[in-house]
Structure 1
C-alpha cells in the first residue's frame, strides 16, 4: 500500500552532492519540501535552487554534523524555514582507506565522528519532532562495508557497522511512536567520493549503482504505508551484475 509524500518535509544530511542531492531532487519531484545540511554553502545553494525549480520549498544550513552544536543549530534553522520534519535522511559520510597501522588515529577518529556521531547528533535533534507528530521516517545510508569488514577499511567498516546497529536499536525504541527507521546498505555508488578514492573509474560506471538508483529506493521505502515495516530495518542494495 503506497502513501503520498506530497507536502511532507524532509531533512537530508550530506545533501549537497551524490546520494544526498539525488534523493533531494527525487523527493522534490514527489512534492516534498526539502531542507539540506552539508559543509559547502555554494553547492547547497545550487541544489536548493534546483529543488525550488520543481515547485517546492527548499532551505539549507551549513554544518559539520560531527559537531553537536552545529548539527542542532542546523536542524533549528531548517525547522524555522520549513516547519517540523516528517522525514530524515542521514546521508552525510566520509571515507578513506589504509591499514590499521597506516591510518593515523586522528583520521580514523574523524571517520567515526562524521559517520557515526553525525548520524546520532542529527537524529537526536530531529527525533522529538517525529515523536510529537507520532509518526515519520528515518532512513540512514549505510554500506555493505557495515555487513562485512575488508582489509584497509577498518575505520569505514566500523562506522557503518555502528550505523546499522544504531538503526536497528532505534527502530525498536520508536516503533511505538509510529516512526519507521530503515537503513540502506549499498555497495559502491558512483559518487564524487567513490571517484576521489579511485574505487571506480570515470569511464567505467555502466555496472555501478548510480546515486539516482539509491534515491529511487529511498522514495520507494518512504511511499510504503507507514504501518509497513521491513523485517530487520535494513534494506540491502548490491551492484546489479
Structure 2
C-alpha cells in the first residue's frame, strides 16, 4: 500500500460529520488539508482537533452550490497548499417529504448543492490533476442513489446523479491516472440523520462517520494501479 504522507487533500463539508472524521483520519496519515464548509463557526471544533494533531490545514467558507464561492475558496486553499492530490466531495443536504409537497425551491437547493456542488469543486481541481497525470477523487453518494424510496425523491434524484457523474468522469480521466470512486453508504450516524424518526434504534449500532473515514483512507492507500469504482457501506446489525 502507498503512503499518503505529504499529499494535499480538499474536503467539502469538511468541518464535521463524515468530512470532519475524514479530515482527522487523513491528518493522522500526514496529509495536508484544505477544508470547505458553509460557515466559519462550524470550523471551531475541527480546527482544535487538527491543531492538537499538529496537522497542516487551511479552512475556507463557501456555499458549494455557488460557482463563484467555490472558485474563491479553492484559490485560497491552493495558495496555501499548492496543487491538490485528493478531492473528497462530501458536502450535501437533504430534504424529505412527498413528491407533491416538495417545493421547487427545495428541489433546487438539494440539486444545486449535491450535484452542482460536486461539479463546481471538481471542475476547479481537475485541471491540475490532469496536468500532473495523477489524482484521486472520491464522491459521496448514498444508498438512496441506488434505490429510491417514498418521501425522498429530491435527495434520491441528487444521489443517483452523483453516481452517474462519477462513473462518466471515471471513464474520461482514468487514462490520466486519476482514480474516481463513488461511495453509497447506508445510514451513517451524522447530523444529517440524527434525531430523525421516532424508532428506538441504537445510534451506536449504525455506521459511524469514523468508519467511513477509515474506509476512504484504505481506498487512497491502494497502489495507484488499482481502485474501487463503486462501493456500498452498511451497518452489520443495526436492528
- State the TM-score, normalizing by the size of structure 1: 0.95
Partner SS state of residue 123, structure 2: helix
CA distance in 2 between partners of 1:75 and 1:56 (Å): 19
CA distance in 2 between partners of 1:201 and 1:3 (Å): 43
CA distance in 2 between partners of 1:176 and 1:199 (Å): 45
Mean CA deviation greater in 124-133 or 38-47: 38-47
Which residue is 1:235 aligned to?
231
CA distance in 1 between partners of 2:215 and 2:70 (Å): 26
Which residue is 1:173 aligned to?
172
Q: Deviations over 1:187-233 (max 9, x none)?
A: 1110011115x058797213211000100110000000111022xx1
Q: 1:217 aligns with which of 215, 220, 232?
A: 215
CA distance in 1 between partners of 2:136 and 2:156 (Å): 25
Q: Residues 86 and 136 of structure 2 are in contact (CA less than 8 Å); yes or no, is this contact kept in structure 1?
A: yes
CA distance in 2 between partners of 1:240 and 1:92 (Å): 25
Which residue is 1:92 aligned to?
91
CA distance in 2 between partners of 1:202 and 1:68 (Å): 41
Which residue is 1:119 aligned to?
118
Indicate how the Cα distance of structure 1 residues 210 and 116 shifts in structure 2: closer, same or farther if over 3 A, else same: same
Q: Residues 144 and 160 of structure 2 are in contact (CA less than 8 Å); yes or no, is this contact kept in structure 1?
A: yes
Q: Residues 185 and 232 of structure 2 are in contact (CA less than 8 Å); yes or no, is this contact kept in structure 1?
A: yes
- State the TM-score, normalizing by the size of structure 2: 0.96
Moved over 3 A (4+): 199-203
Indicate how the Cα distance of structure 1 residues 199 and 32 shifts in structure 2: closer, same or farther if over 3 A, else same: farther
Note the residue ranges of structure 2 that are not aligned, 5 or more in a row. none
2:129 is the counterpart of 1:137 = no
Alignment RMSD (CA, Å): 1.4
Note the residue ranges of structure 1 that are not aligned, 5 or more in a row. none
